[in-house]
Structure 1
């Protein structure tokens, strides 16, 4: 490999965009390949905890995000039917002081636009659907659906739950349907003014087997978003989501608090998505190929940390490449896995169990984490070589 290896990132979602931006910032010859023909402002919200905002700081977009996002003072958990408060988790100024950055909620599309804007536009390629990848030892050849090929020294699979890179490493295997679906909708906050109810800036409504998470996605609080977790035994649709309806929502949340009913009444369009998972993978990298985010640890969104783990992965991978040297890619990849596997697996399990912040607890193990500053844990073989 040359001193400046050529790196390819497959997928320009949040994890891929973070990897591409940080690699380009570090001076690596990095190109990002995205299968979509273009990006659009998809109707979804996202939580960005202090652990993620520290990565946004490194990318250079923390201030812009802080200006556009909503800053909840607390995370509330409430009983879905009675409205009783189950937990109150301080955020706001306490998050900034205790965890080192803000906690915000924002429109996923607005976040994505900022992250893509941090990439070199001449090295971001749309409409590039990867169909095959060939690691030849000295380089990797990528084959795209449009008939073109590209080569790179390192290929990062940030291509989601149905990752082609994961399939190359571990064989074809469909992700596991969790038995849960998520309904997603954005509501105009103007509509809510007709109700004499308190629409809090960040609240999760719980019952035994389902929930609704609700929060603002803009700093001016004009858009209010909800995402649910509802049991559904089977997913028999070929598409990644389907249209839902107010009627379906009313059936799913019958007997829930009047505030939840008001949200359903104000819903104009709502979609339904299957929640997919995988067991922790035995392999995150091989040769010149390495995975991050949903490609290696897809999880339910019930901790609001799925995208966060992908972004943390990206930052840690870049840190390890800089630490070891990209020319020593296999050592860098193993150092990356060593420093991500336990944390990602823990978040994956807690997300699966759906217990996060239902009761008062200390979230510092998630929010105080700083991927740029945490002490690196070296694999046993590396420690042995250093002491020899």
Structure 2
């Protein structure tokens, strides 16, 4: 058997870490290059639906995640002003039974730490900002801001919405500002005990021009997290996020239910972020380069499936390389795109429309999906 091709993964976010973990498990010599100077526990929450937990099972961290995460029994949607219920989507034991895995909410940093720990530490390199990439036809030459140069047989662009690999394939083009911003804050749940109110495990408060998604990010329910979506015509800041304030939150959500007012009262610090999108890309790969996650289909977080799509991408990409043979990488990359494009584009659209689970509906098309076992469709 010939040795497996050398793979470089650009970006050690959730999609990149998943791809690298699965590649390494499959025996590919896989180096990971991350531009951040070190790992840090970024203060945000994340939903991991059964579709994602099946990939976590394959990586080998499903049990650890189940232990550390919160397990909501329902996704509730409520009118932001009146508090009336608009949907009750069963999760908990129902999700395990019907969709094949748990539905959890967890701190994104805790998930990321587990995924990074699943990698070979000798093949994970921080403070490596890619400046250029050259596919010579025989190998790929990567140049980094620190002056170093590395080579690989294949390069996976998991480097986010401003992907350098995407620029190499398609040229420079800024992502589109969606007209929405997101506020993010983590609350010490101990503070909520001062209120005679019901703080549900997973609830989204809605109105036509804004919403607030709220859930616990730890199994012991010590940290409660909210993320908003607020229609905002312009984003006038050069930074990827800026500080917001309790006062700004009160002004925006002045008419919302007392539970939301209590959350704002308990907020110590809050940031706000522009939500960026791209239209579905015409190509996901060229030569020895291939994209996944936000590098090829960035989307609003309104379905809580953005990271999930990157992780699903990773699983299908590795399955495609194994099915076709990495030496036939062009065919393998096309098999990968064939089995991901329609689903990722559909999730992009539903996320854009911001309709997901607002009213009672069957989420099985998302949650029951299993990229680890699905039959791969030929291009």
1:305 is displaced (CA, Å) by 0.1
Q: Could you tell me how far apart the structure 1 residues matched to 2:353 and 2:340 are?
A: 20
- TM-score, structure 2 as length reference: 0.99
1:127-166 pair list within 5 angstroms: 127-166=127-166
Residue equivalent to 1:382? none
Residue equivalent to 1:386? none
SS in 2 for 1:312: helix
1:121 is displaced (CA, Å) by 0.1
8 A Cα contact 1:180 1:230, kept in partner: yes
Residue equivalent to 1:69? 69
1:180-195 pair list within 5 angstroms: 180-195=180-195
Structure 2 unaligned segments of length 5 or more: list them: none
Residue equivalent to 2:270? 270
Runs of at least 4 residues off by over 4 Å: none
1:24 is displaced (CA, Å) by 0.2
1:185 is displaced (CA, Å) by 0.1
Residue equivalent to 1:357? 357
- TM-score, structure 1 as length reference: 0.97
Q: Could you tell me how far apart the structure 1 residues matched to 2:179 and 2:114 are?
A: 33
Q: Is residue 2:88 matched to residue 1:96?
A: no
Q: Could you tell me how far apart the structure 2 residues matched to 1:4 and 1:281 are?
A: 29
1:3 is displaced (CA, Å) by 3.2
* CA offsets 1:74-132 (integer angstroms, 9 cap, x no match): 00000000000000000000000000000000000000000000000000000000000
Structure 1 unaligned segments of length 5 or more: list them: 380-388
Structural RMSD (CA)? 0.5
Q: Could you tell me how far apart the structure 2 residues matched to 1:225 and 1:165 are?
A: 33
* CA offsets 1:322-368 (integer angstroms, 9 cap, x no match): 00000000000000000000000000000000000000000000000
Residue equivalent to 1:244? 244
8 A Cα contact 1:3 1:327, kept in partner: no
SS in 2 for 1:212: strand
Residue equivalent to 2:284? 284
* CA offsets 1:237-281 (integer angstroms, 9 cap, x no match): 111100000011011111100000000000000000000000000
SS in 1 for 2:340: helix
Q: Could you tell me how far apart the structure 1 residues matched to 2:252 and 2:346 are?
A: 29
8 A Cα contact 1:243 1:271, kept in partner: yes
